[in-house]
Amino acid sequence: MRGLRRRPGRRTLGAGLTALALAGATVLGVGLSPEPLVGSRALVESPAAPGDLPAAVVAATSGEAPRVVPTSPVHLLVPSVGLDLPLLAHTPRRGVINPPALTAGYWIEPYGVPAADPAAVDNTVYIAAHSAGRGSDGFDPLLSADRRDSAVSAGDLVQVSTPEGTADYTVERTARYDKDDLPDAVEVWEAVPGRLVLITCFQRAGARAATENLVVFAVAS
Amino acid sequence: MASSHTRRARLCRTGATGAAAALLLLAGAPSAAAAGIAIPLEPSALAISLYPMENFGEEDFTPVQVQWGGSVVVQLPDGVDATDLTAELLLGEEEAEEPSRIFSTEPSTEMPPPGVLVVTDLGDGELEVEMPVDANLGDSMAILVMEGLTATMTGSELADTGLAYFFELDAAFPATQTVSPAVLVDSSVPCDQYESVCDGIPVTAGDELALSVPPTSALRAAGVGNLADAEVMLLPMDDEEYFHWESVGEEQYVGGELTPELPAETAAEVPPFAAELLAGSAPVTGGAPDAGGASPAAAGVLAADAAPVTAAGHELVEPTLVATGPYAATMTLPADTEAGSHALFISEGDGTPGSRYATTVVFLEVAAAPVVAPAAPVVAMPVNAGLRSDTGWIDDEASGSWPLLATGAGMLLAAGAGGVALARTRRTSGTCAD
């Protein structure tokens, strides 16, 4: 028997158009959602953190959409600017630091690992986090309120808390680097035991991409 | 009469109380400023000596050759007055113990045999001395001794040793010779070189010293003090070859024979009757211990074979003097200079006939340099692989969601267009079915 091709019926076409309309409405709705996309990515990609850390929790602050904040027993604190970030590990791909979440800091592997005793670490500890220019994400507190300068300065205390204890560091200086120049800035990448380097983008509010990085140099105190 | 001991420069004396004072000064002395420790060379007195440089040959005393019955013109340097000059010319054989004849501007019957030495003042410091005729006594070796010369330079005193010249007479030699003695200017700071209590200037090994010759310095008045071409030498004062200590009462004096006696081999080149006189003419300079520098000694008697180490085993240290002007220079004391009293010799001039040669001795009380822990070796830090940091985030509201918005809107438009087309199809079919 020779097969016959049957034209789709009107009901089938109508159902397809209805599904297309519903899908378009959904996509539009997501696009209009105020929650940062990276938050959901963080939830998905956070297993990169060591030891399969506990599931992310959802924090909510008044006036803002719920934020996905990873949990970690390791924290970075900068009391002078009210910064307290959970720390996870991050292995850059293709030579680029790009933390998966806005709401955490990341120590860069395979360099120094946060420890209660900085002297026991044989390399610089690098901690990177995003800044979004809104004042509440990642390393946003490291930038001044007007986003024109660093909010931390020489002498400020930086702490890395771990289950074994808290390591204290003192800020020596801050510096800004063109993003293209950072990989070649030897003073940043020197392996110095007892040194802590914080890295973020010098991100101003708005839609313009950052062209500079802010680097905070601190030493164990 | 000239004698070597009169040339000894009694350099300095340091009493027990002086030493204590020096220690106190050291304890309270501020550390060296970056510009260096200022040491103005303003000696309170200058000792002027005249030296017959024409007599200093390559290795021995060389007589100036002049014709019997000829004349010698002595060109005195500026600042030396000959108003009270007395002169003697002693003649003898090469091996003579005593002179055979003596001529004098003040002849005496006691002289063997008496004769008048004619000295004529030609003006402008020129003194013409007439040589005697040949008496066929074989006394062709002559010593001219001039005394009574005085210095007219400010703050200067001409040594009482006078001036002695060594001549050889022969009928074939030039009828006239002109000689120009060199002027040697000896001085010391911070105290006078004669019998004065002296506490050395407190310094620390490694210090930079800023030497200067102020316009009011007697050195300038004597026509010296130009540090641009000066040389320096540092010698510990416990070097018994050049310094000696004497106790007088409760005080201790240090005396200095800045040069050894006239070398015996050189003395043997002159007649015995002239040796003592000429020994007094051996150059006495602060630069002499070096014996390799530009001092008259180096140019003549003491020659250039001197070892760089003194007989006492001290290595001669010659710091580099860096001129910062014609009358200013700096130098750095070697950091390994031993603590104790040192003499810094500053020598200027080349000792050629008619020139001026100055030696200023700066007495230093050196404290050992503080022990500085060796700097940790610089170890190059290993460098991690550099990374780019894309740690900025642009708000979704501003830019990140526009693809989603466009996609959703497009899907809605497509669904709407499809619905309209489906409705038209329904109408057409109805019409055709009828």
DSSP string over B56-121: B-SSSB-PEEE-TT-EEEEEPPTTEE-TT-EEEEEEE-TT-SS-SEEEESS--TTSSSP-BPPEEE
Look-up of token digits 């590990």: A89
Alpha helices in A2-79 (DSSP H): 10-32, 37-45
**Is B390 in Cβ contact with A201 (below 8 Å)?**
yes
Mean pLDDT of B74-91: 92
User: pTM of the prediction?
Assistant: 0.49
Residue B430 three-state SS = helix
**Is B386 in Cβ contact with A182 (below 8 Å)?**
yes
More confident: B204 or B18: B204
Taking the C-alpha atoms of residue B128 and residue A119, their distance in angstroms, rounded to an integer, is 91
Least confidently predicted of A36-40, A129-133, B206-210, B211-215: A36-40
* pLDDT grade for B193, boundaries at 50, 70 and 90: low
* pLDDT grade for B235, boundaries at 50, 70 and 90: confident
Kindly tell me if the per-residue pLDDT of A136 is higher than 50.
yes
* pLDDT grade for B46, boundaries at 50, 70 and 90: confident
Task: Give the chain B residue whose CA is nearest to the CA of A129.
Answer: B391
Kindly tell me if the per-residue pLDDT of B260 is higher than 70.
no
DSSP-derived secondary structure letter, A159: E
* pLDDT grade for A87, boundaries at 50, 70 and 90: very high
Whether residue A166 is contained in a domain is answered as yes
pLDDT, position B311: 56
Q: Rg of chain A's alpha carbons, rounded to an integer?
A: 23
Whether residue A31 is contained in a domain is answered as no
Amino acid B127 reads L
B372–chain A nearest CA distance, Å = 26
pLDDT, position B61: 74
- Pick from B386, B411, B425: which is nearest to A27 by CB? B411
Least confidently predicted of A4-13, A143-152, B146-155, B414-423: A4-13
- Domain hosting residue A72, numbered range: 38-220
CATH number at residue A101: 2.40.260.10
pLDDT, position B36: 83
Kindly tell me if the per-residue pLDDT of B33 is higher than 90.
no
Mean pLDDT of B378-403: 74
| Chain B residues near residue A24 by CB distance under 8 angstroms | 407-415
pLDDT, position A172: 96
pLDDT, position B181: 93
Taking the C-alpha atoms of residue B178 and residue B74, their distance in angstroms, rounded to an integer, is 6
pLDDT in tens, A169-207: 999 999 999 999 999 999 999 999 999 999 999 877 665
Kindly tell me if the per-residue pLDDT of B286 is higher than 60.
no
Strands A96-97, A105-108: pairing is: unpaired
| Chain B residues near residue A202 by CB distance under 8 angstroms | 392
Mean pLDDT of B74-103: 90
Alpha helices in B174-289 (DSSP H): 218-221, 264-267, 272-279
DSSP string over A99-150: -S-SS-EEEETTS----S-GGG--S-EEEE--B-SSSSSTTGGGB-TTSSSB
Mean pLDDT of B296-318: 47
B220 token code pair: 């300038």
| Chain A residues near residue B394 by CB distance under 8 angstroms | 132, 203, 206-209
Whether residue A95 is contained in a domain is answered as yes
Kindly tell me if the per-residue pLDDT of B14 is higher than 80.
no
pLDDT in tens, A17-31: 566 666 555 544 444
Whether residue A28 is contained in a domain is answered as no
Whether residue A71 is contained in a domain is answered as yes
Q: Are residues B329 and B228 in contact, defined by beta-carbon separation less than 8 angstroms? A: yes
Domain tally, chain A: 1
Could you tell me the CA-to-CA distances from B276 to A55, B271, B279, B296 in Å, in that order? 111, 10, 5, 19
Alpha helices in B176-215 (DSSP H): none
Average pLDDT of chain B, as a whole number: 73
pLDDT, position B108: 76
Q: How many CB atoms lie within 10 A of CB B334?
A: 15
pLDDT, position A27: 45
Residue A213 near chain B (CB below 8 Å) = yes
pLDDT, position B62: 84
Of these ranges, B242-246, B310-314, B320-324, B392-396, the one predicted with the greatest mean pLDDT is B320-324
Whether residue A124 is contained in a domain is answered as yes
- Pick from B381, B405, B415: which is nearest to A20 by CB? B415
Task: Give the chain B residue whose CA is nearest to the CA of A132.
Answer: B393
Q: Evaluate the omega torsion of the peptide bond into residue B107 and state whether it is cis, within 30 degrees of 0.
A: no
Kindly tell me if the per-residue pLDDT of A101 is higher than 80.
yes
pLDDT, position A66: 59
Closest to B132 measured CA to CA, from B114, B110, B108:
B114
Q: What are B209's strand-pairing partners? A: B37, B331
Q: Cβ neighbours of residue A134 under 8 Å, at least 6 residues apart?
A: A140, A205, B395
Q: Cβ neighbours of residue A3 under 8 Å, at least 6 residues apart?
A: none
Whether residue A99 is contained in a domain is answered as yes
* pLDDT grade for A139, boundaries at 50, 70 and 90: very high
Alpha helices in B223-295 (DSSP H): 264-267, 272-279
pLDDT, position A68: 74
DSSP-derived secondary structure letter, B19: H
Q: ipTM of the predicted structure?
A: 0.74
Of these ranges, A49-58, A137-146, B16-25, B206-215, the one predicted with the greatest mean pLDDT is B206-215
pLDDT, position A44: 27
Residue A76 three-state SS = strand
pLDDT, position A16: 60
Whether residue A147 is contained in a domain is answered as yes
Amino acid B141 reads M
Mean pLDDT of A41-63: 38
Q: Are residues B222 and B79 in contact, defined by beta-carbon separation less than 8 angstroms? A: yes
**Is B418 in Cβ contact with A96 (below 8 Å)?**
no
Could you tell me the CA-to-CA distances from B338 to A128, B204, B314, B316 in Å, in that order? 57, 10, 11, 13
- Pick from A24, A132, A200: which is nearest to B412 by CB? A24
Half-sphere exposure of B85 (CA within 13 A, CB side): 26
